[in-house]
Copies of this chain bind each other. A is one copy, B any other.
Amino acid sequence: MHRLRRFADERDWQQFHTPKNLAMALAGEVGELVAELQWLTPEESARVMADPDHAARVRAEIGDVMIYLARLGDVLGIDLLTAATDKLSDAARRYPVERSFGSSAKAPPADNAD
Chain A interface residues toward B at CB < 8 A: 1, 3-4, 7-8, 10-13, 15-21, 23-35, 37-43, 45-46, 48-49, 57-73, 75-78, 80-81, 83-88, 91-92, 95, 97, 100-102, 104, 107-114
Main secondary structure of the interface of A (DSSP, over half): helix
Complexed CA–CA distance, A61 and B111 (Å): 11
Q: Chain B residues with Cβ under 8 A from A26's Cβ?
A: 30, 33-34, 65
Identical chains bound together, number? 4
Closest to A112 in B: B35
Ordered nearest first, which 5 A-B pairs have the shortest CB separation?
Answer: A31-B31, A63-B87, A28-B35, A63-B83, A20-B45
